[in-house]
Chain A
Amino acid sequence: MSNLDHGKFTRVTTLFHSLLGLDVFLLFFTGYAIMFNDELWWMLTLMGGASGVTAIHRITGIGLVALVVFWITLQLISSTGRSNFSKILPAKDDIDAFIQDIQFVLGRADERHPSARQFAGYKADEVPLLSYIGKGVVAIFSIELTLLAISGLLIWSKTGLAAMFQTKAAAMAFVTFHGLLGVIMLMGVMFHVFEHGMHPAFYPVETKAFIPRSMVPEHHSEDDEEPDTTGIERLSLSPSWRSVSTIFGAMTVIGIVSVLIGSIFDEGYPVPRELAIGGGPSSILLTIGINLGMVVLGVGLVLSMYGNVLRIRWEQQLEEEREPPAAADGGEPQTDGGQPESDDTEN
């Protein structure tokens, strides 16, 4: 049993997850630097002002179109993709898992439902491809990314937008719509980072989405007895987990609440729906809160990179374990480990 736990994703999926994450983080940083420019002025300036930010946003936007179309095509043309489709649809188990999560928190259930379990340990066989949260993430992200890509392309193509909306204000309102559309995903990603970064058994990052299942060792107990627990009680808690998870949890909540409030007041850039320039109340608390939200996203980006570093380290470790011990001089390792007793050695 290890931090690697029950990897279920393929190499293509884990690589896609990393690329999509990198692309979406860049889209968030640029897009919300525009929308929340009152609060994130420094981010706007840091990325080259309005021109630089919109340029980066478009380049990463095209990257998003490529990634989304790649993924849809792969799911349609491959048997693996088609066979997995039923596994991402909501089922009764998901509702049961949600209810059991609440019961677990209240102390009325001893363990999390298999469809909610992040750490599977000895009970890895019970855990489905996606948890109920995983299914929700896939559903919300699929809808949001598709709508954001289409509305983004419409905004990019001024002629496309002008054909639909005759006035600049109406076109601006559509830009507002595009920005508001991404707020659900922005909040969802903050939760996603918290969920997979602060689980006590995986802290500081759950590697399931980075290390493909081909590289995760499978353990089967020798006896056929069903284990009573996942085995989490055998793991040691990291000394920094309590303080870091508390601080990061608070930042996540403040970030989500702040971007939600900000999206209501700062709804348009530069002109909101009611033509109240300035984007609502300029509040120092809102500024701090939205910036904390961006820090949460920044941590997510770093953890995504760290997950890949862990994958590379694990890959190297596997390679070392697979390779028979090589003699330092390239000779036969079966001899004395470095000095082959072959005929051509110098005597």
Chain B
Amino acid sequence: MTDRDDLPDVNGYSRASVLISAVVGLAVAGLSLFWAQGFRVGYESLYRVNPSVEGGGIGSDWVFGNTIPALDFLIALIHAADVIMGAFILVMVFIHWAAFQRLAGQMRDPGEDVSEAVAADGGSPTGGDGQGGDSA
């Protein structure tokens, strides 16, 4: 009998699956690293952090900006996705915020009689350390 036999059954991942996946993950990460920068130690210098030239202003090769329409479209598209998803995420925040308020209303208030209460964190309901709703 192992030390976990008394715990609920778990249909987890086998050790072999986890090991193989870890090896594959690390191998692909290593290959990606090799593809991106070879065996050079170190990193590129500030290639994209050089906006100005002598006398101020921007470098001459920036003047035309981005002239690839497809890329321009992609950026506009991702802006739109950001705004739409941002608005949706805000709606979800507000729904959950309001739902939490209602759920809190169903719970016992901190000062309420707790003779039958159960501490939210499994501790003593009269412990009162302010963690996880187990205060008196």
Give residues in A with beta carbon < 8 Å to B. Answer: 1-4, 10-12, 50-51, 54-55, 58, 62-63, 65-71, 73-74, 77-78, 80-81, 101-102, 104-105, 107, 112, 119, 133, 140, 153, 156-158, 160, 165, 167-177, 180-181, 183-184, 187-188, 190-191, 194-195, 198-204, 212-218, 231-242, 245, 249, 252-253, 256-257, 260, 263-264, 267, 269-271, 273-275, 277, 318-319, 322
Task: Determine the residue in chain A with the shortest Cβ distance to B118.
Answer: A234
Chain A to chain B contacts (Cβ below 8 Å), 10 pairs = A70-B24, A77-B21, A78-B14, A180-B75, A180-B82, A187-B82, A212-B10, A236-B117, A238-B133, A253-B93
Q: Does B49 contact A (CB under 8 A)?
A: yes
Q: Is the interface of A mostly helix, strand, loop or mixed?
A: helix
The answer to whether B89 touches A236 (Cβ under 8 A) is no
> Which of B's residues lie within 8 Å of A, judged by CB?
3-4, 6-8, 10-14, 17-18, 20-22, 24-26, 28-29, 32-33, 35-37, 43-51, 58-59, 61-68, 71-72, 74-75, 78-79, 81-83, 85-86, 89-90, 92-100, 102-104, 106-110, 112, 114, 116-122, 125, 130-136
Whether A65 lies near B29 (C-beta < 8 A) is yes
* Partner among A165, A167, A213 whose Cβ is within 8 Å of the Cβ of B64: A167
A275 x B103 contact (CB < 8 A): no
CB <8 Å contact, B65 and A168:
no
Query: Taking CB as reference atom, which chain A residue is nearest B17?
Result: A78
Cα(A62)–Cα(B27), bound, Å: 11
Contacts of A54 in B (CB 8 A): 43-44
A66, A156, A157, A202 — most chain B CB neighbours (10 Å): A66
Contact B48 A245 (CB under 8 A): no
- A-side contacts of B63, CB under 8 Å: 275
A-B contact count (CB 8 A): 300
> Chain B residues near A233 (CB, 8 Å)?
106-108
Report whether A12 and B18 are in contact in the complex, using a CB–CB cutoff of 8 Å.
Answer: yes
User: With A2-B119, A77-B21 given, is the CB distance from A277 to B51 under 8 Å?
Assistant: yes
A183 to B103, CA, bound (A): 30
Question: Are A184 and B100 CB-contacts (below 8 A) given A67-B25, A213-B8, A273-B66?
Answer: no
B75 contacts A199, C-beta separation under 8 Å:
no
Closest 4 CB pairs of A and B: A70-B25, A2-B122, A66-B29, A74-B21
What are the residues of chain B within 8 A of A236 when measuring CB–CB? 107-110, 112, 114, 117, 119-120, 125, 133-136
Q: Which of B62, B92, B125, B131 sits near A191, CB closer than 8 Å?
A: B92
Docked-complex contact A169 and B93, CB < 8 angstroms:
no
Residues in A whose Cβ lies below 8 Å from that of B136: 236
**Cβ of A271 and Cβ of B130 under 8 Å apart?**
no
Residue of A165, A235, A236 with most partner-chain B CB within 10 A: A236
